Amino acid sequence: MNQDKRIIVGVYHLNKKLGKHFSLEDINLQVANGEFVFLVGPSGAGKSTLLRLLYMDNMPDSGQIVVGPYISTRIKRNTVPSLRRMVGIVFQDFRLIEDRTVFENVALALKVTGAGMREIKRQVTDILTRVALYHKRYEFPPALSGGEQQRVAIARAVVNRPAVLLADEPTGNLDPTATKNVLELLFKVNAGGTAVLMATHDIDLVRSFGQRIIYLEEGRLVRDKEMIYTGDLRERIDDSRVSKRAERMKDLDITGGKGE
Amino acid sequence: MNLNRIRYMFGESWIMLNRRLGAAVISVFIMGLSLLILVIFLLLTLNIAVMIDRASEELRIFVYIEDGIGRDRSQEIQLSLLGMNGVEEVVFVSKSEALTTFKEALGEESDLLDALERNPLPDAYKLKMQHDMMRSDELERLAGQIEEWDGVEEVRYGEKWFERGEKFVKGFYVVDLVLGLIIFLSVIFVISNTVRLTILYRRKTIDVVKLVGAPSSYIRMPFIIEGAIQGIVAALLALGLGFLVYYFAHRYFPGITFFQLEAALLFVLFCAVLGAVVSYMAMRRFIRI
Ligand SMILES: Nc1ncnc2c1ncn2[C@@H]1O[C@H](COP(=O)(O)OP(=O)(O)OP(=O)(O)O)[C@@H](O)[C@H]1O
Ligand SMILES: [Mg+2]
């Protein structure tokens, strides 16, 4: 029971068929409170599909997804919004509303919770300051660089302090500098206690950080951290370097990994 | 319903209208013009209905009295007429009054009547009927009944004309209704397409609002309000333009009328509801969670 409490995202025997040719098969994974996890896999592996299932934009064919107190097999359609509020979501294409200012874009996430104007102003000011974009609060998204837009998107995703942040290729459209900024920001968000699950196809980008990495291929979870599910990937994925961060993460690791 | 929520819903509609004012103006204009067609149609219907009403209002039944039945019997007849169901007013027209009227009607030719030794016209009672009695079967029944009375020579009300008029009115209303329905459906078609375009443009906004966890009422309401506002403005535009049309037509047809205030308000309300409903229908497809 005590251990369950620390799991913020749980996926159990998840199956999902999409179209004729693709399906996620028997996915099992757990993410602990405050953990940082990379979800890595080639294009078409099913990363976006898995994330979409996590914020229940799509429902499993079988199996179960548990996010905080919400369980996919029991959730009602009108409770999905509450789930979404404890999950921040960030995409490759930012998904900002173009005819609204930076401030309004971020404020929207609080407005829909019924927050008051003062509260909104305080929180948005705070988060924009933290992503170093307060001075651009009156700009419209098209006037910002890609990196700045993504920081606005992250600010919007975390302004109401979600327990989990799901990021689907958040650096996919960014140059190396902006990529670095966004990753640092995600680590910062994570340091604040939010669990982060970031999908990317760029193994090289993430393997140096020493975070837990989950590998997805053709709809199957092939490797979770150092646990190798299929042997043929061993050569390709060699990230046994241990960083200080990974050391710290070990305490949170509830996947049964033996450490590195 | 807390205050923040209401503020959010109206605030969002305001932002949406405001940030795309050009597009909002254009779509309201399109809606307004198509509503103008409906307004003009309703004005025509209204005025024709008023004309028909006036015509039937002016219709009188003439009960002709036999010559020489005496004052008492004549008064009895008047009282009986007054006591009848559906009779609103009874006016005595003496034979001399009738002759004067007749002469006036003849004009120049009235000299011919001077040749007459004595007035050939009978005394008569002129009946004004209640509005709901203005149907040929009712009138026929009534006339038949009165004709039976002692001292009554004849009852006339222009039966042939009345029946023809009645048929025409019925035909008119059928055509009018069908035409009205067609215009109404076209207006709804135009409006729902205009609103659908607006919502299509807002697809991304809807996706974002869903993503940040807005309850469905938070997603829907701003659009419903936006639709209602567009409906109201379009209705006012249509009524304004309709009034201009009326104003100029009034010079040539001084008898015509415009909508009463209540009817105009009802029209505005109707358009508000129409805008809201159409908006709701258009976005229903997008907000499935
Ligand atoms: N709605 C759908 N209907 C049918 N097939 C779909 C649908 N959505 C996704 N797919 C298929 O599912 C597979 C996985 O797609 P997904 O977007 O999850 O991959 P991904 O790992 O996110 O890839 P990328 O790195 O390119 O974003 C793809 O083959 C895709 O064609
Ligand atoms: Mg993807």
- A114 token code pair: 């019924």
Question: Do B177 and B282 lie in a common domain?
Answer: yes
Backbone φ and ψ for A50, nearest 5 degrees, come out as -65, -45
Is the CB of A19 within 6 Å of ligand 1? Answer: yes
CA B237 to chain centroid: 20
* pLDDT tier for residue A254 given thresholds of 50, 70 and 90: very low
Is ipTM > 0.85 here? no
**Given pLDDT bands bounded at 50, 70 and 90, which one contains residue B20?**
confident
For residue range A169-187, list pLDDT tens digits in order.
999 999 999 999 999 999 9
Task: Please give the domain boundaries of chain A with CATH numbers for all domains.
Answer: 7-95+162-249 (3.40.50.300)
Write out the residues of chain B at the interface with chain A, using a CB-CB cutoff of 8 A.
2, 4-5, 7-8, 11-12, 15, 19-20, 204-205, 207-216, 218, 289
* B245 shares a domain with B174: yes
| pLDDT value, residue A225 | 64
pLDDT in tens, B184-201: 999 999 988 888 888 888
Domain end position, chosen among B123, B156, B189 = B156
User: What letter represents residue A32's amino acid?
Assistant: A
- Statement to judge: residues B178 and B86 lie in one domain: no
Q: Are residues B144 and B220 in the same domain?
A: no
Domain count, chain B: 2
Q: d(Cα B234, Cα B31) in Å, to the nearest integer? A: 6
Cα-flanking dihedrals φ and ψ of residue A63, to 5°? 90, -175
Has residue A243 got a pLDDT over 70?
no
**Residue of chain A whose Cα is closest to the Cα of B204:** A97
Question: Does the beta carbon of A48 lie inside 6 Å of ligand 1?
Answer: yes
Alpha carbons A121 and A129: distance in angstroms, whole number: 12
pTM for this predicted structure: 0.76
For residue A17, CA distances in Å to A40, A46, A172, B69 come to 20, 11, 26, 102
Strand partners, A30: A10
B84 and B150 belong to one structural domain: yes
Inside any domain, residue B64: yes
How much is the mean pLDDT over chain B?
Answer: 87
Q: In ligand 1, which atom is closest to the CA atom of A19?
A: 4
pLDDT in tens, B48-64: 988 888 888 788 888 88
B253, two tokens: 């047809």
- Position A104 pLDDT exceeds 80: yes
Do the Cβ atoms of A99 and B19 come within 8 Å?
A: yes
Residue B285: exposure state from Cβ atoms within 10 A (0-12, 13-18, ≥19): exposed
Q: Which of B136, B156, B176 is the last residue of a domain?
A: B156
Instruction: Please indicate, yes or no, whether residues B186 and B278 belong to a single structural domain of this protein.
Output: yes
What value does the mean pLDDT of chain A take?
84
Domain match, B42 and B182 both: yes
Decide which of A201 and B109 is more confident.
A201
User: Which residue, B156, B191, B209, sits at the end of a domain?
Assistant: B156
A42 secondary structure, DSSP code: -
A215 Cα to the center of ligand 2, angstroms: 14
Nearest CA to ligand 1 atom 4: A19
How does pLDDT run across A67-86, given as a tens digit for each residue?
Answer: 999 999 999 988 999 999 99
Judge whether B247 lies within some domain. Answer: yes
Distance CA A184, CA B190 (A): 51
Do B181 and B152 belong together in one domain? no
**Could you tell me if B89 and B211 lie in one domain?**
no
Give the ligand at the shortest distance from the Cα of A20. Answer: 1
The reply to whether B224 and B198 lie within a common domain is yes
Which pLDDT score, from 0 to 100, does residue A245 have? Answer: 39
- My answer on whether B94 and B48 are in the same domain is no
Please give the share of chain B, as a percent, with pLDDT higher than 90: 34
Is there a contact between A78 and B216 if contact means CB atoms under 8 Å apart? yes
- Give the closest-approach CA distance of B215 to chain A in angstroms: 5
How far is the first Cα of chain B from the last one, in angstroms, to the nearest whole number?
22
Residues 6 or more apart whose CB falls under 8 angstroms from that of A98 comprise A140, A141, A142, B204
Residue B161 within a domain? no
Q: How many CB atoms lie within 10 A of CB A175?
A: 11
CA end-to-end distance (rounded Å), chain A: 27
Q: Which domain, by its residues, includes B152?
A: 60-156
Whether residue B74 lies inside any domain: the answer is yes
Distance CA B134, CA B137 (A): 9
Domain of residue B140, CATH code: 3.30.70.3040
Instruction: Let me know whether B87 and B229 are in one domain.
Output: no
pLDDT of A252 strictly over 60: no
Percent of chain A predicted with pLDDT > 70: 84
Count of C-beta atoms within a 10 Å radius of residue B123: 20
Confidence of residue A26 (pLDDT cuts 50, 70, 90): very high
In a domain, B138, yes or no: yes
Residues B270-282 pLDDT 10s? 999 999 999 998 8
- Evaluate whether residue B23 is within a structural domain: yes
Give the residue, B69 or A216, on which the prediction is more confident.
A216
> What was the pLDDT predicted at B287?
62
Contact across the interface for B212 and A109, Cβ inside 8 Å:
yes
